[in-house]
């Protein structure tokens, strides 16, 4: 996953353009993708697909011709969606188009101007402070023209057509944690699920933030009722503890599953309530759709000093952190896939488990007592109104023990789904 982040890092991504396509081409080497191109001007809910932006080169050069700000050194150096410029101007005039972080003087900020025509450069405050007055050559070799918005999907068929969506944004340039760690974790999560036979159908969405998720929703509105659960992945590779942000519903099954998995694992973590600010969970959870979609990250949105700066580089994310995020996703989806509601077929008194060989089958196991207790809890709460997750939460037993007990009881004909 870390190697994938390093491959993707140099590319100049935005909400449209060849940088997104190049990113999806690389991800497509790892998992098969269906790529969608949506033309400029297409109405998508209350939005319109914008013109496509592409950039080839950009710089600010001093009187000696030396590039003091250079797009080739980092794609962060150009204001996203900058209009083309080719001029010479004094530093006093240029300053209005220069963006810095005075409180973090050695870092380059990430800035965009998607929906307001503008141009500009981003640079370290200490670089700006060192520039002498004088004339500077300013060039941005970009195009803003009718084209397409690009997004991609990867689908893993399940036993049922009901879907779990996993969404990550692919619109940021050289930012490793936000957004490439999420892209890498999603990619390897898809590879892991492809080696199984999942209960649900899993749909992975790689799309530009906000406008991409809105476009996907607009183009899938007629089948949105298939989406039963969802997870947005972002900021998935920093050293912070895991953070789960609930869906707008607050009690969706995915919310309960993530809370249970994180708590049962003993990992330090935080569960936050929903707010309509952050990543694309706010689009999937908008009241017209009201999908059960939460968001998993490590340090959350804007919560670390490196956020949206040049310090969010591949060294900022670690293989260990991404592996941990991936493991939690796999654990959560394993619970989601096995969570069922059962009815006890022998509800009058406790059925004789020994006669059916259920106790004998446990002989010699180190967790015999736990497994027996799990069977009794499943029988007690299999009334058609409690899921296996309910059983695990109420009993305090591990979900795997509860699900294993349910499998055994189902095999013995004592419960039915």
Instruction: Say which range, 17-21, 213-217, 355-359, 385-389, has the weakest mean pLDDT.
Output: 355-359
Rounded to the nearest integer, the mean pLDDT of the chain is 96
- Weakest mean pLDDT among 14-28, 63-77, 282-296, 365-379: 365-379
- Count of other CB atoms within 10 angstroms of residue 92: 9
CB atoms within 10 A of CB 225: 11
Residue 107, CA atoms < 13 Å, CB-side half-sphere: 17
Q: What is the DSSP string of 207-240?
A: E-TTHHHHHHHHHTGGGGGGEEEEEEE-S-SSSS
Q: How far is residue 142's CA from residue 109's CA, in Å, rounded to a whole number?
A: 20
pTM summary value? 0.95
Placement of tokens 């060192």 in the chain: 130
**Residue 233 neighbours by CB under 8 Å, 6+ apart:** 166, 167, 168, 182, 185, 186, 295, 296, 297, 325, 329
Neighbours of 202 (CB within 10 A): 23
Q: Do residues 410 and 416 make contact, with C-beta atoms less than 8 angstroms apart?
A: yes
For the annotated binding site for Zn(2+), the residues are: 172, 178, 308
Domains and CATH numbers, the chain: 2-50+148-338 (3.40.630.10), 59-145 (3.50.30.90), 341-416 (1.10.10.10)
The pLDDT of residue 366 is 62
Cβ-Cβ contacts under 8 Å for 405 (sequence gap 6 or more): 371, 374, 375, 377, 378
DSSP per-residue string spanning 348-402:
SS---TGGGTTTGGGTT-TTHHHHHHHHHHHHHH-EEEEEHHHHHHHH---HHHH
CB 293 within 8 A of CB 284: yes
Tell me the per-residue pLDDT of 92-137, one tens digit each, with 9 for 90 and over.
Answer: 999 999 999 999 999 999 999 999 999 999 999 999 999 999 999 9
Q: Quote the strand ranges of 132-180, DSSP E.
A: 135-145, 148-156, 163-169
338-349 pLDDT per residue, tens: 999 999 999 999
Tokens of 13: 């991504």
Segment (H or E) for 179: none
Q: E strand or H helix at 104, and its extent?
A: none
Is the pLDDT confidence value at 364 over 60?
Answer: no
Binned at pLDDT 50, 70 and 90, residue 365 comes out as low
Give dist(CA 8, CA 142) in Å, integer.
21
- Residues annotated in the binding site, as ranges? 172, 178, 308
For residue 219, give both structure tokens. Answer: 């183009």
Counting Cβ atoms within 10 Å, is residue 127 exposed (0-12), middle (13-18) or buried (19+)?
middle
pLDDT tens-digit readout, 217-276: 999 999 999 999 999 999 999 999 999 999 999 999 999 999 999 999 999 999 999 999
Reply yes or no on whether the pLDDT at 362 is more than 90. no
Beta bridge partners of 138: 60, 87
């Amino acid at each position: 996953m870390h190697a994938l982040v390093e491959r993707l890092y140099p590319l100049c991504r935005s909400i449209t353009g060849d940088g997104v396509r190049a990113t999806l081409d690389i991800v497509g080497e790892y998992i098969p993708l269906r790529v969608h191109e949506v033309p400029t001007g297409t109405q998508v809910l209350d939005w319109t697909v914008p013109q496509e932006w592409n950039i080839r080169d950009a710089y600010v050069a001093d009187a000696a011709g030396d590039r003091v700000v250079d797009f080739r050194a980092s794609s962060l150096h150009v204001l996203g969606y900058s209009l083309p410029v080719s001029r010479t101007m004094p530093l006093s005039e240029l300053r209005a188009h220069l963006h810095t972080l005075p409180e973090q003087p050695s870092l380059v900020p990430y800035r965009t101007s998607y929906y307001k025509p503008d141009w500009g450069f981003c640079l370290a405050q200490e670089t700006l402070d060192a520039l002498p007055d004088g004339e500077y050559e300013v060039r941005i070799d970009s195009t803003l023209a009718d084209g397409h918005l690009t997004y991609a999907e990867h689908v893993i068929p399940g036993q049922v057509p009901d879907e779990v969506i996993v969404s990550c944004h692919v619109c940021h340039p050289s930012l490793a944690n936000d957004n490439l760690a999420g892209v890498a974790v999603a990619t390897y999560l898809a590879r892991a699920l492809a080696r199984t036979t999942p209960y649900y159908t899993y749909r992975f969405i790689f799309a530009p933030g906000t406008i991409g998720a809105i476009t996907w929703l607009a183009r899938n509105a007629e089948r949105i009722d298939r989406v039963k659960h969802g997870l947005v992945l972002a900021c998935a590779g920093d050293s912070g503890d895991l953070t789960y942000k609930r869906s707008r519903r607050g009690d969706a099954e995915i919310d309960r599953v993530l809370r249970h998995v994180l708590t049962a694992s003993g990992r330090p973590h935080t569960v936050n309530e929903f707010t309509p600010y952050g990543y694309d969970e706010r689009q999937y959870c908008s009241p017209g759709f009201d999908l059960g979609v939460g968001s998993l990250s490590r340090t959350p949105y804007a919560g670390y000093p490196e956020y949206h700066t040049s310090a969010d580089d591949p060294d900022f994310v670690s293989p260990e952190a991404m592996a941990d995020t991936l493991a939690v996703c796999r654990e959560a989806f394993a619970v989601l896939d096995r969570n069922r509601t059962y009815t006890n077929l022998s509800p009058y008194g406790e059925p004789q488990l020994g006669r059916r060989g259920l106790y004998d089958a446990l002989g010699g196991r180190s967790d015999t007592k736990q497994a027996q207790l799990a069977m009794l809890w499943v029988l007690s709460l299999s009334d058609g109104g409690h899921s296996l997750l309910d059983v695990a939460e109420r009993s305090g037993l591990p979900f795997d023990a509860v699900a294993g007990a349910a499998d055994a009881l189902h095999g013995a004909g004592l419960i039915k789904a």
